[in-house]
Structure 1
Amino acid sequence: MKKTIFITGASRGLGRIWAEAFLKRGDHVVVAVRTPSSLADLAKEYPATLLVLQLDVTNRDDAFKAVAKAKAHFGVIDILINNAGYGQMGAIEEVSEQEIRAQLETNVLGLIWLTQAIIPVMREQKSGHIIQLSSALGLVSIPLMGIYSASKYAVEGLSESLAAEVAGFGIKVTILEPNGFATDFSASSLGQSKSLAVYDEVRNGMFAAQTAEDTGVPEATTAAVLKLIDSENPPLRMILGKKGFPWVKYTYEERIKTWEDWQEVSVAAHGK
């Protein structure tokens, strides 16, 4: 069944790949990006089924206007994919105030503004699916990616609450958690904080691990995303890639073990 899909951050990477896949199968697609010219080729190829809108997701008013334009153009919005975002690398001590604010403005507040804008539309329709792009780093954090992880942990928490809040309106919520993929996330899309020499050892260890990492093939995610948007009962959470689940499983088992080891102290802290 043909769907109308609103996706942010689709000028490149996974978002671009998914937008093309939606268009190829006949869906209506609204792509909201900072630079509409980056989608000129697709706009020419799919003039009737693609609407390209200029949007800086950090601008709340513009987010609401973009959703209104999309609704007026296609009459319905079945799916929102909050894909816009980027990474910021740096030890917590290294990351500047400006870098922290920019990271949270885009990855968290931008996602919230689009979510707030789409809910009334889907509530009126009594149907819809909101897909929030988190990360495996929204479940497990690593050195030098703490600010990025903080933004994705926020996406996890707010989206879990959202799912419970809007379920009665017929709106589904899914949190997508990709592991590493061979996109430009680790290149041009990755912010780099000014480094301090005291963290060089940590940095060298991270770079060595990244070199050895088995990154996924971006195009291979398409089938999973198509299956997700076509599902009548989509999951609240879905990991993309083969590396994420064993990593998350190990980490959570270690967390549970720690909580169990300290359970006596925890219970005593209750006071009664």
Structure 2
Amino acid sequence: MTEPRVWFITGATRGLGRAVAEAALATGDRVIGAARDIGPLAELAGRYPDNLVSLPLDVADRPAVGQAVDRAAATFGRLDVVVNNAGGLLLGMLEETTEEQIRRHFDVNFFGAVWVTQAVIPHLRAQGSGRLLQVTSMGSGGGVASVGPYAAGKAALDALSQSVAMELEPFGIRVTIVQPGGYDTGLYTVGTTATTPDPAYEPLRQKLAELWGDDAGPAPGTAAPVIMALVGLPDPPLRLIVGSRSYDLVQQMEQARVAEYRSWEQLSRQAPG
């Protein structure tokens, strides 16, 4: 019989984090679900009293992250899968964004993941195994108007995680950058901080609203089977796009990027470096 895996999931109360927690528990795995407000996990804990531990945690608080990870590792004796999922959305044009808003946004979306990653590495290295899933975004390869800080934070985590993957592979730890598309995770509602709108950007806002439409996207539970399949792979990818439509969109963005490089190749090659 295969030993149940132990998951540590941040942002476990909603969206992809909650969906993955439910999927892992359904297979008999054990889950430490972390979030600032663990109240929404009460019902799930009632269904899985022996396999789910709820842990209050603000990932922006580095000392608290270290304590929480140590506690999580001690709870079931190991950590097999770490999912850096906690995050939020700062919605607004850069000119409208306050220093406090953008710093808080990076504290959660980027530095929060960094603190968790730093804290789990010693535990994973000591046991000589582990999976680290860094949840970024299908848009981490480029920005879109009004969500620039969000895209920047995800891009930073993407780049850092690629470096970390190289650092940790010799220890039997595999890193995958999970790039989900537009799922109905609550990111654009309860997970959103909005700037004070400047009327100068109203035409652009209207254009973006028409472009995005009202479709909130599929339920995050539809993505959970992909994550479960991913952690079962003996040789997982460094990056994985989650979502059929998202896959197509990312390919289009990558092709457009390459096309632009090639169209300016002559100018690029005028420099010897």
| CA distance in 1 between partners of 2:102 and 2:60 (Å) | 14
Q: Could you tell which deviates more after superposition, 255-264 or 208-217?
A: 208-217
Q: Could you tell which deviates more after superposition, 95-104 or 109-118?
A: 95-104
What is the Cα deviation at residue 49 of structure 1?
Answer: 1.1
Contact 1:141–1:149 under 8 Å retained in 2: yes
- Equivalent AA in structure 2 for residue 257 of structure 1: A
Number of the residue aligned with 1:43: 45
Number of the residue aligned with 1:90: 92
Which one of 192, 195, 201 corresponds to residue 193 of structure 1?
195
| CA distance in 1 between partners of 2:18 and 2:8 (Å) | 12
Number of the residue aligned with 2:29: 27
| CA distance in 2 between partners of 1:18 and 1:30 (Å) | 12
Contact 1:100–1:147 under 8 Å retained in 2: yes
Contact 1:8–1:33 under 8 Å retained in 2: yes
Contact 1:79–1:131 under 8 Å retained in 2: yes
| CA distance in 2 between partners of 1:239 and 1:123 (Å) | 27
What is the Cα deviation at residue 86 of structure 1?
Answer: 0.8
Deviations for 1:154-198, whole angstroms, at most 9, x for unmatched residues?
Answer: 011000111111110100001111111123111121111111111
Q: Supply the RMSD in Å over aligned alpha carbons.
A: 1.4
- Equivalent AA in structure 1 for residue 41 of structure 2: L
Unaligned runs of 5+ residues in structure 2 are none
What is the Cα deviation at residue 265 of structure 1?
Answer: 2.5
| CA distance in 2 between partners of 1:141 and 1:241 (Å) | 19
What is the Cα deviation at residue 95 of structure 1?
Answer: 1.1
SS at match of 2:72: helix
| CA distance in 2 between partners of 1:141 and 1:107 (Å) | 15
Number of the residue aligned with 1:265: 267
Contact 1:88–1:147 under 8 Å retained in 2: yes
What is the Cα deviation at residue 47 of structure 1?
Answer: 1.8
- Equivalent AA in structure 1 for residue 101 of structure 2: E
| CA distance in 2 between partners of 1:58 and 1:155 (Å) | 14
Which one of 76, 79, 89 corresponds to residue 77 of structure 1?
79
Which one of 18, 21, 28 corresponds to residue 20 of structure 2?
18
**What is the count of residue pairs matched by the alignment?**
271
| CA distance in 2 between partners of 1:105 and 1:214 (Å) | 26
Please state if 1:223 is matched with 2:225. yes
- Equivalent AA in structure 2 for residue 63 of structure 1: V
- Equivalent AA in structure 1 for residue 200 of structure 2: V
Mapping 1:54-203, distance limit 5 Å:
54-203=56-205
TM-score scaled to structure 2, two decimals? 0.95
Spell out structure 1 runs of 4+ moving beyond 4 A.
none
Contact 2:184–2:216 under 8 Å retained in 1: no
- Equivalent AA in structure 2 for residue 241 of structure 1: G
Identity %: 36
| CA distance in 2 between partners of 1:223 and 1:65 (Å) | 31
What is the Cα deviation at residue 37 of structure 1?
Answer: 2.4
TM-score scaled to structure 1, two decimals? 0.96
| CA distance in 1 between partners of 2:92 and 2:125 (Å) | 40
| CA distance in 1 between partners of 2:71 and 2:77 (Å) | 10
Number of the residue aligned with 1:247: 249
Contact 1:140–1:248 under 8 Å retained in 2: no
Contact 1:216–1:241 under 8 Å retained in 2: no
